[in-house]
Amino acid sequence: MNRREIVKSLSVLPFTGGLLYGDELMGQPTVPPVQTDDNIYRSLGVEPVINCRGTFTIIGGSIERPQVLKAQEAASGHFVQYDELATGIGKRLAEITKTEWGMVAAGCAAAIKHFTAGCVTGGNPEKLIRIPNLNGFNKNEVIIPRHSRNAYDHAVRNIGVKVITVETAEEMKSAINQHTAMIYMITSPRSATGQPLSLEVMAEIAKPNNIPILVDAAAENLTIPPVHLARGGTVVAYSGGKAICGPQCAGLLLGDKSLLLSAWQASSPHHGPGRDNKVGKEEMLGMLAAVEAWTTRDHEKEWDTWMSWLSTITKKVTKIKGVTTSIKEPKGLNNRAPMLIIQWDPKKLNITGEQVAEDCARKAPRLAIGSADSESEASVNVTPNQMKAGQELVVADRIHKLLVTKRPALSSNLKNAQVNLTGHWQIEVEFFSSTSTHTLYMEQDGNWIQGTHQGEFSTRELVGMVEENRVRIRSGLHVPGDHVTFLFHGEATNETMKGSVFLGEYLNAKFTAHKIQYKNPKKPISLPGGPPLAT
């Protein structure tokens, strides 16, 4: 990593000011009564966001279709026996999607968890209530291709299974045994037809051994019948809050009926490991309505509408000299929406893509947009599939204003460091309800820092920078499927540091640190001429 990359990796935080949702989450702000109109979020002191990124859960997923809202409202006024409802919905989903059975869960991750439980237990409740203690279980292993390891395979691991990660077809063949409960995979270019470990290849290995394959197609467009079942999958999982535009807290499973009945048994309202993933009757019928609506939606017209919004934004921003645009259209089913890329020379407009995206994220009207920067080119991107009519004008004006604003030239010059942080540091990290002791080993060269960060369970490399007495240090914890960012920022002396830790999606913490002073005296070390004559 060169110094420019280090600056970029450490520049997501200002040296002064707070973090988004930092002290605000720790405190108890006074807010006016909740409203029930368009100001419902503002009445809580929360500024809404125009979604130009797509179906991200952290900003609300997708906009529910009108049919979904009507179905949920109709469902809310009555009581029903849930197993009977699940049976009715299962049959109806099977008819619509041309599959054997369907099931609605409390989100796609919950659907994955319930299906894993169903494969482990085979529908046996005596086994179900023992999860996650799988001692004595015959089926207690799940195979996942390395290209499919992701943050959502926690849903698989929550059942207590042993995950076997494989990289090749030969490794998968060797991994299958009497304890294999299922194979889990996500749809991606590396699992596409023709790839060394494609779904077809996995199915050829799994079917003779009667091993089910769960295909995670969470963000994909729904195909009828699901293409992944035809390719050899046993059950396919979708998110309700993504392309299908159903309830954000609903997920969909389609495929083998017997396994889906076992998965339903492992979900709420039944007691056991899935009771914490409660899906309401409203979400169940809302998800069904979303699937029904999918079959009647004019998808070509929706695409044309999105393209027209991007055209409006393009016309506005390209009035600026040096700004160019292009549109990226996805080839596959995953996150299928056009993306407008707006590009410029950061040295001419004196602003980077990251700075534009950061300003849009923090100031009203707030926009969620993507960004990318290189040595000679800055860019932001806009994905329109979760925008609403009229918002394209707001987006165009917001970005245009930022790009035409006069500002000083960008500079990478740093003020000289006033402290020397080289050494061995002990850090106390204060999380919301606990503390943890970490260790930093750092070497400083002028403004720049490198070294290692030892957390509670692993050691990883760190990079950092110092300007005057202000410090930023960044490390990343990487494990299969997961990543946690640690970005320490604050003030330092030669012997102490104090400040906050930005933890990415896991919010924030506080830290204090002191440099370890070695107590051993500095004296020569003699080397014996041979083994000791006495001990």
Residue 155 near residue 110 (C-beta atoms within 8 A):
yes
Tens digits of residue pLDDT in 31-62: 456 666 668 999 899 999 999 999 999 999 99
Question: What pLDDT does residue 325 have?
Answer: 97
Predicted pLDDT of residue 375: 85
Q: How far is CA 89 from CA 83, 92, 264, 290, 305, in A?
A: 10, 5, 12, 12, 32
- Same domain, yes or no: 475 and 390: no
3 state SS of 450: strand
- pLDDT value for 30: 54
CATH number for 483: 2.40.128.120
Final residue in a domain of this structure, among 404, 430, 457: 404
Alpha-carbon distance of 422 to 444, in angstroms, equals 5
Domain assignment present for 535: no
Whose CA is closest to 210, among 284, 119, 291, 146? 119
CATH number of the domain bearing residue 354 = 3.90.1150.180
Helix (H/G/I), strand (E/B), else coil: 145 = strand
State the Cα–Cα distance between residues 391 and 384, nearest whole angstrom: 10
The CATH number of whichever domain residue 227 belongs to comes to 3.40.640.10
Asked if 439 and 383 count as a contact pair (C-beta separation under 8 A), the reply is no
Residue 450 CA, distance from chain mean position: 28
Using alpha carbons only, what angle is made at residue 417 by residues 413 and 418, rounded to the nearest 5 degrees?
Answer: 145
Residues 303 and 288 both lie in one domain? no
Same domain (yes/no): 49, 20: no
Q: How many domains does the chain have?
A: 3
Residue with token string 């949702």: 21
Do residues 273 and 121 touch, judged by C-beta distance below 8 A? no
Considering the domain boundaries, does residue 410 fall inside one? no
Within-domain flag for 522? no
524 occurs within a structural domain: no
What is the per-residue pLDDT for 335?
Answer: 87
The answer as to whether 282 is a domain residue is yes
Same domain, 103 and 179: yes
Task: Report the pLDDT value the prediction gives residue 400, as an integer from 0 to 100.
Answer: 98
In a domain, 523, yes or no: no
Query: Do 339 and 463 share a structural domain?
Result: no
The DSSP-derived string for 169-228 is HHHHHHH--TTEEEEEEE-SGGGSTTSTT-HHHHHHHHGGGT--EEEE-TTBPP-SS-HH
Which backbone phi and psi does 76 adopt, to 5 degrees? -70, -20
492 and 423 within one domain: yes
Q: Is residue 37 part of a domain?
A: no
Question: What is the pLDDT, as a whole number, of residue 7?
Answer: 44
| Structure tokens belonging to residue 255 | 């495929």
> At 280, phi and psi to the nearest 5?
-85, 160
pLDDT of residue 3: 45
* 88 and 228 within one domain: yes
Q: Distance between CA atoms of 264 and 325, rounded to whole angstroms?
A: 48
Same domain for 419 and 463, yes or no, is yes
Q: Do 442 and 400 share a structural domain?
A: no
242 in a structural domain? yes
Domain carrying residue 11: 1-30+415-517
pLDDT at 330: 87
89/53 same-domain check = no
- Regions of the chain with pLDDT less than 50: 1-4, 6-7, 11-26, 29, 31
Q: Identify whether residues 114 and 50 lie together within a single domain.
A: no
Question: Do 343 and 443 have their domain in common?
Answer: no
| Max CA distance (Å), the chain | 92
